[in-house]
Amino acid sequence: MNIGIFGTGGVARSIAAKFVSLGHTVMLGTRNVEETKNRTEGDNMGNISFKEWYSQNNSVKLGTFADVGAFGELLVNATTGIGSLPAIAAAGEKNLNEKVLIDISNPLDFSKGFPPFLSVSNTDSLGEQIQRAYPNVKVVKALNTLSHPLMVNPSLVNNGDHTLPICGNDAEAKAKIVALLQTFGWKSENILDLGDITNARGTEAFLLLWVRMYGVFKTPMFQLKIVK
């Protein structure tokens, strides 16, 4: 399957590499292809530069957001929260219609330092904003509650026995994403379908707790398990 991913950061790279390892063809999207290809700085999360990563993962294609929108049979939003709507808009609505979009992003605002606050919260969410802007896109909020190594390899914590919440308006789209996540190693019984896209308010708000726990543990390698 052709999979288009908006973004080129650590999350996008992990998802891209995983999809490639599973036999999919992947294109990452960016505003400026040449500038991104030649980016030599790492980031504050310890990720290597894009140039170095790209040299090690040269089967991954790189294009503009519009290229990615046209290319992907399945789309993934792995941009920053503040960059999500502009990136998706740049893809072009005609390239998005009727496609499933996995939204991994969170509206974290670091403009006042750490810990961040949410730029969208309480009565709205970024997932809902994307769904309202593109009503013919099947948005599934998933994978936004944990670190990117765990997204693609859940066995790294507690042998994979932890909970992954998802939500979205389209039941068929969610079923498709659950099946895809199982190829990542997720167990179906650990994937919790919360319901419609308004539940993104809860999963995005969880990041306020997640960053506090990260501050305590000094590692992103943790996840919650729901028991009842």
Convert the pLDDT of each residue in 90-144 to its tens digit.
999 999 999 999 999 999 998 888 888 999 999 999 999 999 999 999 999 999 9
Mean per-residue pLDDT of the chain = 95
Q: How far apart are CA 83 and CA 102, in angstroms?
A: 15
Q: SS3 of 33, please? A: helix
Q: How far apart, in Å, do the first and last CA atoms of the chain sit?
A: 37
Question: Percent of the chain having pLDDT more than 90?
Answer: 88
27, 71 Cβ separation under 8 angstroms: yes
Task: Give the amino acid at 163.
Answer: T
Mean pLDDT confidence for 58-84: 96
Q: SS3 of 110, please? A: coil
Q: How far apart are CA 226 and CA 220, in angstroms?
A: 18
Q: How far apart are CA 156 and CA 158, in angstroms?
A: 7
Backbone angles phi, psi at 150, to 5 degrees: -75, -30
Instruction: List all residues 6 or more positions away from 107 whose beta carbon is below 8 Å from its beta carbon.
Output: 81, 82, 118, 119, 120, 121, 125, 126, 204
pLDDT of residue 85: 96
**Residue 208 pLDDT more than 70?**
yes
Mean pLDDT confidence for 44-61: 88
How many residues can be counted in the chain? 228
- pLDDT, tens digit, 9 for 90 and up, residues 137-193: 999 999 999 999 999 999 999 999 999 999 999 999 999 999 999 999 999 999 999
Domain segments of the chain: what residues?
2-217
Tell me the C-alpha to C-alpha distance, in Å, between residue 101 and each of 9, 92, 98, 104.
18, 14, 9, 9
Rounded to the nearest 5 percent, the helix, strand and coil shares of the chain are: 45, 20, 35
Neighbour count for residue 113 (Cβ, 10 Å) = 6
**Residue 42 pLDDT more than 90?**
no
Neighbour count for residue 159 (Cβ, 10 Å) = 8
Question: Percent of the chain having pLDDT more than 70?
Answer: 99
pLDDT of residue 38: 86
What DSSP designation does 25 have? E
Q: SS3 of 35, please? A: helix
Task: Give the amino acid at 25.
Answer: T
Residue 188, Cα to own-chain centre: how many angstroms? Answer: 19
Backbone angles phi, psi at 127, to 5 degrees: -55, -45
What DSSP designation does 49 have? P
Q: Name which CATH class applies to 2-217.
A: alpha beta
